Structure 1
Amino acid sequence: MEPGRVYIDSGYRMYYDEGTKLTDGIPAGLESVLPEIWKQYPPEHPMITDFFAVIVFALWLVNFFGNGLVIVVFLVTKSLRTPTNMFIVNLAFSDLCMMTFMGPSVTVNAFISDHWIYGALFCQLYGFFGALFGTVSLLTMVVIGYDRYNVIVKGLSGTRITGCKAFFILLFIWIYVLAGSLPPLFGWGGFALDGLLITCSYDYYTYDWNKLSYCFYAFITHYLLPLILVLYYYGCIVKAVVQHERALKAQAKKMNVSSLRSGGNEDGQSAEMRICKVAITNVSLWFLAWTPYAVVFMFPLFGKLHWVTPLVSQLPIFFAKTASCFNPVVFALSHPKYREALSELCPCLGIREESAKGGDNKNPTPTIATTTA
């Protein structure tokens, strides 16, 4: 066998010479983005890379179709072109850009070679755009949480979001995230190859204060603070909804009726409780998708770089990308007007949503109609 080569027999068992490393065969031009840590590990089974490539391609298809529908439906449906729904379109746009930029390139890379084929510069750009679009999505989720909190919890005393305010909020998000994502391209921090050598992200793989200090900054500003804000907003929403439900039931009991809602029944479950469930779902998916990466991201800062193996570094990154596919599903399940518009534009999807009739459509419940977006 040739030194440094990996072989697979008919039973898909992997063989390689003693001393063969994961980084064998890496072009010299990638040394600037190749962490030393990967040079100590043996090769990973090539089918692991192929498996991830197929998963990423499938995620991209779901992302492209789902977020594309969200953008089209919200933009072509006049009743959905509201200031606060601009946040929904922005979230779908950033999610779509992230996976469209990353998904096909990773899939092609994985099936052509076992290492990065696009050069060091594109590795840095890949990491930069991943950080940019991913963080924009996270902060947009925070703004959506604030909008729902503003309407449900604050009610009439809340700040009204106009088209101009929504535009400047989104402009601020993009400028803020752009300013926070550029430093690794100019000397503070860095981007490097991840464990399977087919993706690039923040370089947290080296005990270097320049890089780790930026990682700490990114952890605080791009994950921890957004998480705290999201938990606060949705926590207040859940609390307000639960208290509202209790007040309605108590009043109904005093009046000796089964329900104060239209028709005298609960109609399965109240719109408020549906909002509550959607809020919990949003936070849970957000937390589950991004927390594994954030935890692994912090290992070196606590002196545990040896815990970061190629798969340990790669799995959370791929898992975090699934967050870009969750949002269209959540919107389709929680937004009646979106489902209604989607059923008209794409009847082949089999979605059935009846339009609101009569005067009730003109005066929907304030805490529900605005916030289910």
Structure 2
Amino acid sequence: MKNETQNYNVYGAYFAPLRSSDGVKMLVDGLDSADLAVIPEHWLSYTSPPASAHTALALLYIFFTAAALIGNGLVIFIFATSKSLRTSSNLLILNLAIFDFIMMAKAPIFIYNSAMRGFATGALGCQIFSVMGAYSGIGASMTNACIAYDRHSTITRPLDGRLSRGKALLMIACVWIYATPWALMPLFNVWGRFVPEGYLTSCTFDYLSNSFDTKLFVVCIFTCSCLFPMCFIIYFYSGIVKQVFAHEAALREQAKKMNVESLRSNQNASAESAEIRIAKAALTVCFLFVASWTPYGVMSLIGAFGDQQLLTPGVTMIPAVA
């Protein structure tokens, strides 16, 4: 596999500079042969976007980065300074905050590339950006699945479903171990590789090269980083909703037997029923996870198996920013 990944762009590195001979500025103008060698051939024929597009993306990323770093930084700080919050369940929340912090800590690479209007940080910056993205993206998705499991166990098995500290730490360790192969295999060209995409200001795993290894890698990473956690999250949260609805039905049945309208206190009588509130919360979590992962998943599958002409630089920047 290693030899194959080193020859994805055999002739692109030599002929790409010739494509700007008509005076139109291309995406790859000004890049040396070492940088051109890591860029998928798909991007060589596209013109450079207007400077305003780079500026808008940089400003957007600055805003998101500041908000995310402050928010997740506060979570980490509060957890570190407040002993009462250091519960087993909150360890998972802390781990999620760490992954989100890492996700946005790579933003300066994107912002600098956007400010310089291209692949300014080169192959090294691309590798750093991609490794941090792989760890944080896959780690966050699996941590969300662990949080869903914890909530499901707590609600469906209130007597013995509480998460112990040892089990929480084991789950966190497993999440990091699970994410490691998907971050390191492309880094060392063992399987797959990390490449720039879109405006060449962000990087991800290669989903454009027309090889069996690339297609298989896309299927496997999509399954392991998106489908598996998505199925777990939907299963556990649907189980929570089912349990709560069953509990509410039992309360209504008991109230009917006692000839009362409700077993709830008058204070809660006019409030929204518990099952509706929990169902809304569960649906919101599931929707946000699907909405955040589906665009990138669909884009990578189109790149590997569909019409690559649909993947223009501008189109691929949408899920990269989202």
The answer to which structure has the higher helix fraction is 2
2:252 alignment partner, one of 249, 255, 260: 249
Contact 2:110 2:202 in 1 (8 A): yes
1:203 corresponds in structure 2 to 206
Q: How does 1:218-297 map to 2 (within 5 A)?
A: 218-263=221-266, 265-266=268-269, 268-270=271-273, 273-297=276-300
Measured in 2, the distance between the counterparts of 1:238 and 1:138 equals 21
Counterparts of 1:77 and 1:251 in 2: how far apart (Å)?
A: 42
Matches within 5 A, 1:77-226: 77-100=82-105, 102-111=106-115, 113-156=116-159, 158=161, 160-187=162-189, 188-226=191-229
Q: Contact between 2:96 and 2:144, CA under 8 Å: does it hold in 1?
A: yes
Equivalent of residue 54 in structure 2, options 31, 49, 58: 49
2:318 maps to 1:315: yes
Aligned to 2:12: none
Post-superposition shift, 1:185? Answer: 1.5
Cα 1:265–1:129 change in 2 (3 A) is: closer
- Native 8 Å contact 2:87 2:165 kept in 1: yes
Cα contact 1:189–1:212 (8 A) shared by 2: no
Write the deviation string for residues 250-273 of structure 1: whole angstroms up to 9, x where unpaired. Answer: 322333334322446336235554
Count, aligned residues: 304
Distance 1:195 1:96 in 2: 24
* Cα offsets for 1:90-111 (capped at 9, x unmatched): 00111011102x2222223212
What pairs up with 1:294-305 in 2 under 5 angstroms?
294-305=297-308
Matches of 2:126 and 2:40, distance apart in 1: 13
Instruction: Specify the SS of the correspondent of 2:210.
Output: coil
1:25 aligns with 2:27: no
Q: Deviations over 1:293-338 (max 9, x none)?
A: 101011133232222111222111111xxxxxxxxxxxxxxxxxxx
Q: Deviations over 1:206-249 (max 9, x none)?
A: 11222222121101111111111111111111122222223223
Q: How far, CA to CA, are the matches of 1:41 and 1:219 in structure 2?
A: 27
For the Cα contact (< 8 Å) 1:84–1:147, is it kept in 2? yes
User: Distance between the aligned counterparts of 2:44 and 2:70, measured in 1?
Assistant: 39
- Give me the CA root mean square deviation: 2.2
TM-score where L is the length of structure 1: 0.76
Distance 2:221 2:80 in 1: 33
The amino acid that maps onto 2:98 is F
Note the 1:58-77 alignment, pairs <5 A. Answer: 58-77=63-82
Q: Which residue of 2 aligns with 1:345?
A: none
TM-score by length of 2: 0.87
Question: Which ranges of structure 2 fall in alignment gaps of 5 or more residues?
Answer: 1-16
Amino acid at match of 2:146: V
